[in-house]
Chain A
Amino acid sequence: MISPRRATLLLFLSSLVACSLHAQVTSDRLLHAPDEPQNWLTYSGSYAGQRYSLLNQVDLTNVKNLELKWVFQDQSLQKFESTPLVVNGIMYVTQPPNDIIALDAKTGAAFWVYHYNPSPAARPCCGIVNRGVAILGDSLFMATVDAHLLSIDAKNGHLLWDVKVADAAAGYAMTLAPLVVKDKVVVGVAGAEFGIRGFVSAYNAQTGAEAWKFYTIPGPGDPGHDTWRGDDWEHGGGSAWMTGTYDPDLNLTFWGTGNPGPDFNVSQRPGDNLYSDSVVALDPDTGKLKWYFQYSPNDAYDYDSVQVPVLAEINWEGNPRKVLMQANRNGFFYVLDRTSGKFLFGRPFVKVNWAKGLDDAGRPIITTQPPGTPTYPGQQGGTNWYSPSFSPRTGLFYISAWDDYSTIFAGVPAEFKEGQRYMAGANTGPIPGGDTLGNGIRGPINTYTEAAGHGAVLAIDPHTGERKWTFAMHDVTSSGILTTAADLLFTGGREGFFQALNARTGELLWKASLGGDIISGPITYEVDGKQYVSVAAGRGLFVFGLRN
């Protein structure tokens, strides 16, 4: 017989176990993340990278009633690029350079802060930023700007392990959110602007031990090495600075790679420069390359191909097909068969003049512009790392694009010195004396205006590459896009507006002025039966919900 006191204790203990089990984010839960839309368990919301949620409490008719519920103000002057995770009502968000804050996702109240001091040797090219964490079990994983990978206890913010992924003083950095696949944490490095040799690598989630490393620039004896002249490959770049995706059925993880090093001056690195500006399909257990597709061989324009490779099953010429879709920085929208990497289709989604088209294999037919004249799209691309979205309901692919945007490119010689910038370009904007439309934060005045290019949300039909609709903005946008099962599309822009559009028509349904650039991807989640939508803007994370 069990005493009442003992029974109470057992009940208490069993409830603890139940809570604990419930809180554990197993790899099985990650596989089925879209089925628990109250949570946001990975950077892109699912392994397919669609940034699409089944939540539909906020819908086309009531979205106008969204109101601000709470704000988290970060303690940094750097760009706020983080996508939070939400797990059972707890939000995990990062602030630059590498802090993690656990918040009550309903109120914004903080549980704990983990602070990391990156090495002063860290030198990320384009902002001391972080884009978020990954989770497995009760452990969070963060990649740091000084190229370390950390595991943090999700319950108390304590460090579990810290491994050095690469040498920050040599220009390696990490700004991406890691991708957990099974029992491994997969990351990629940034640093092509410093002449690094890029790689994607995986670590045991329990111990931090390196499981495999795939170099995006093949070394001597490896296939593809002959696309480099001499020892150019040693500083060949090919960073993998954005989070990849994963197909459990094919057991493949897909990673986009960045520009070859040095940027711009193609005469300094003749050849196709594999696997720069490519997507690579890797076995997540071994890191072995299954296939690759290179978008921009011998790239002269900094057209990184790190855009999240979006996976979907779509009807293709009468049959269901496993595709990988990518709207590339080079201005072309691509559809590949992700079982083989076969090129199915590609078409410009913005003005493009560096190539007049793609051949049957998807290779660009290059039309180099005369010196001193504008090349479209410009250096920041037709799009860049801003998360796209694919809605299985509308069947449309959504892109944050830079329309009518160009750069006057000029390659110059560059000399490699470890840890120093390895850039071989003297590029200018098309407006003499005008401000350059770059990737930095601008002040409250749009001084370059529409004349230098403007932003837009594009809804692309993946079967034709045609624009179904365009939502034009005056300024450019570095915001990600979220779509939901209510046919809503949420996105921001450099002007600081956070907007909800009808995903089928592009009609503006609601907007809020958040007073700072939106350089992150929105997410949605649910706590206690109420749906929230959150986005980072300027120095804050803003969370909206329906008026009570």
Chain B
Amino acid sequence: MSGDQVAGVNLRSGQFKHVFSDNDLRAVITNGISGTAMPPHSFNPAELAAIVAYIRNMATFDARNVSLGDAKRGEALFNGAGNCGSCHRVDGKGPRVAPDLSNVGALRTADLLERSLVDPTGAMLPINRSVRAVTRDGKVITGRRLNEDTYTVQLIDDHEQLVSLDKSQLSEYTVIKTSSMPSYKDKLNSQELADVVAYLLTLKGAK
């Protein structure tokens, strides 16, 4: 139950239409949203605080237990032995080839973050898949998919340019289902993995 029956709302991911602060969240729960199916509720302050805390922590509820390590050590691994920063960007630093992780701690659960490290292909969201396109005049374009519809595809190419392609003008178009990210299953030990996950969970986006 993530609230995603409502367009633009995903409680687990911290996505709201009318809410920015905890005060906003309390106001919406208390007053409802006029003209929508969101009704008003009469909770006492303690109940309200508990509900807000629950919603704010939904992103860290996991289907299974994931051990969290030391975020400081995780940051060092991210920028050092893990070499994550060679593809991922955090807080304005690093390339944009792979997804920007500046707010990944607000979007993904610890469970999913760990899976991404251990099994990058299995855990990769399909929207992030790489694509390879060949134009009719033989030009090869590769990059990370940002969006796609029946007739076009939008990507950020290997030169970090935003590119929109008309599929009818392509001689080849392939969505690559294998992630180019290496698995860290054997590259990091379990403590190191836990440290990196802990660090990633601290990434909540620009303040």
- Report which A residues bind B (CB closer than 8 A): 97, 120, 123-128, 426, 431-436, 438-452, 472-475, 493, 495, 497, 511
Closest Cβ–Cβ distance, residue A505 to chain B (whole Å): 17
Binds A, one of B68-76, B142-150, B156-164, B190-198: B142-150
Residue B172 is within 8 A (CB to CB) of chain A in the complex: no
Residues of chain B lying within 8 A (CB to CB) of residue A434: 125-126
Task: Please tell me if B130 contacts chain A, counting CB pairs below 8 Å.
Answer: no
**Alpha-carbon distance between A433 and B4 when the two chains are bound, in angstroms:** 13
Tell me, in angstroms, the Cα distance from A431 to B123 when the chains sit together.
8
Docked complex: B1-48 residues within 8 A CB-CB of A: 1-2, 4-8, 10, 34-37, 39
Q: Select which of A120, A449, A493, A497 is within 8 A of B127 by beta carbon.
A: A449
Task: Give chain B nearest CB distance to A117 CB in angstroms.
Answer: 10
A-B pairs, 7 with minimum CB distance:
A451-B126, A441-B7, A449-B126, A495-B149, A440-B7, A433-B112, A474-B150
By the criterion CB–CB under 8 Å, are A445 and B37 in contact? no
**A128/B35 contact (C-beta < 8 A), A434-B126, A438-B4 known:** yes
Residue among B4, B34, B108, B127 with the highest chain A CB neighbour number at 10 A: B127
Asked whether B149 lies within 8 Å of A435 as measured between CB atoms, the reply is no
Known: A124-B37, A440-B5. A433 touches B125 (CB 8 A): yes
Q: For B123, what are the chain A residues with a Cβ–Cβ distance below 8 Å?
A: 432-433
Are B5 and A435 in touch, CB under 8 angstroms?
Answer: no
CA distance A435 to B125 in the complex (A): 9
Asked if B96 is at the interface (CB within 8 A of a chain A CB), the reply is no
Bound CA span A436–B9, Å: 11
Do A497 and B126 contact each other (CB < 8 Å), given the known contacts A436-B4, A440-B6, A443-B8? no
B16 CB to nearest A CB, Å: 14
CA distance A446 to B129 in the complex (A): 13
Cβ of B14 to closest chain A Cβ, rounded Å: 14
Q: A432-B123, A450-B126, A493-B150 are in contact. List 6 more A-B contacts (CB 8 A).
A: A128-B37, A435-B10, A436-B4, A443-B8, A449-B127, A475-B149
Q: Which B residues are CB-close (under 8 A) to A126?
A: 5
Specify the chain A residue showing the minimal Cβ separation from B10. A435
Of B1, B108, B147, B150, the residue contacting A497 (CB under 8 A) is B150
Residues 130-174 of B at the A interface (beta carbon under 8 Å)? 145-151
Contact A432 to B35, CB < 8 A, known contacts A439-B5, A449-B127: no
Find the B residue at minimum CB distance from A444.
Answer: B147
> Which chain A residue has the least Cβ–Cβ distance from B109?
A433
Q: List 18 A-B contacts (CB under 8 A).
A: A120-B34, A127-B37, A128-B37, A426-B1, A431-B125, A432-B112, A440-B5, A440-B7, A445-B147, A448-B127, A449-B126, A449-B145, A450-B126, A450-B148, A451-B126, A452-B126, A473-B150, A495-B150
Complex CA gap A382/B90 in Å reads 41
| B112–A97 touching, CB < 8 Å | no
Given contacts A439-B5, A440-B7, A443-B8, contact A511 B127 (CB under 8 A): no
Which residues of the partner chain B approach A431 to less than 8 Å between Cβ atoms?
125-126
Given the complex, which residues of B lie within 8 Å of A127, measured CB to CB?
Answer: 37
User: Chain B: how many interface residues by the 8 Å CB criterion?
Assistant: 30
A123: min CB distance to chain B, Å: 5
Q: Select one of A426, A440, A447 contacting B125, CB under 8 A.
A: A447
Are B7 and A442 interface neighbours, CB within 8 A? yes
Asked if residues B2 and A436 are in contact (CB atoms below 8 Å), the reply is: yes
Which chain B positions have C-beta within 8 A of A440?
4-7
Contact B127 A446 (CB under 8 A): yes
What distance in Å separates the Cβ of B64 from its nearest Cβ neighbour in chain A? 11
* Distance in Å: Cβ of B120 to nearest Cβ of chain A: 13
Taking each of B34, B37, B148, which has the highest tally of chain A beta carbons within 10 Å of its own beta carbon?
Answer: B37
B contact residues around A443 at 8 Å (CB): 7-8
Question: Which residues on the B side are within 8 Å of A473 (C-beta)?
Answer: 149-150
Let me know if A474 and B115 touch, CB within 8 A. Answer: no
Contact between B108 and A433, CB atoms less than 8 A apart:
yes
Nearest A residue to B154 via CB reads A445
Most chain A beta-carbon neighbours within 10 Å: one of B1, B108, B115: B1
Choose one: A97, A445, A451, A474; the contact of B146 (CB below 8 Å).
A445
- Give the shortest distance, in Å, between A27 (CB) and chain B (any CB): 36
Please name all residues of chain B whose beta carbon is closer than 8 Å to the beta carbon of A123 when the two chains form the complex: 37, 39
**The one of B7, B10, B35, B108 that contacts A97, using a Cβ cutoff of 8 Å:** B35
Residue of B nearest to A124 (CB): B37
- A536: min CB distance to chain B, Å: 16
Contact of A448 with B126 at beta-carbon distance under 8 Å, contacts A128-B35, A443-B8 already known: yes
- Chain B 73-110 per-residue mask, 1 if CB under 8 angstroms from chain A, else 0: 00000000000000000000000000000000000110
A446 touching B148, Cβ below 8 Å: yes
A432–B125 CA distance with the chains assembled, in angstroms = 8
A371 to chain B, nearest CB (A): 13
Complex Cα spacing A442 to B147, Å: 13
Q: Is the CB of A435 within 8 A of B4?
A: yes
Q: Is the CB of B150 within 8 A of A128?
A: no
CB distance from A490 to the nearest CB of B (A): 15
Q: Of A97, A120, A125, A449, which is within 8 A of B148 by CB?
A: A449
A446 near B149 with CB under 8 A, answer yes
Q: A120-B34, A123-B39, A426-B1 are in contact. Are A474 and B149 (CB under 8 A)?
A: yes
B175 contacts which chain A residues (CB < 8 A)?
450
Q: Determine whether the beta carbon of B151 is less than 8 Å from that of A511.
A: yes
Chain B residues in 8 Å Cβ range of A446:
127, 147-149
Complex-state Cα separation, A76 to B129, whole angstroms: 35
Residue ID in chain B nearest A441 by CB atoms: B7
Report the separation of the CA atoms of residues A439 and B146 in the bound assembly, to the nearest whole angstrom: 22
CA A97 to CA B10, docked complex, whole Å: 24
Cβ of A426: which chain B residues have Cβ within 8 Å of it? 1
B151 adjacent to A432 (CB under 8 Å): no
In the complex, the answer to whether A432 meets B115 with C-beta atoms within 8 Å is yes
The smallest C-beta distance from B166 to any residue of chain A, in angstroms, reads 12
What residues of A have a CB within 8 angstroms of the CB of B36 in the complex? Answer: 128
A114 to B34, CA, bound (A): 20
Q: From A421, which residue of chain B is reached at the shortest CB distance?
A: B37
| Residues of A close to B2: CB separation below 8 A | 436
The answer to whether residues A445 and B127 also contact, given A128-B36, A435-B10, A438-B5 and a CB cut-off of 8 A, is: yes
- Determine whether the beta carbon of B150 is less than 8 Å from that of A475: yes
Residue among B2, B6, B10, B35 with the most chain A CB within 10 A?
Answer: B35
Among A125, A447, A493, max chain B CB count under 10 A is at A447
Alpha-carbon gap, A97 to B35, bound state (A): 8
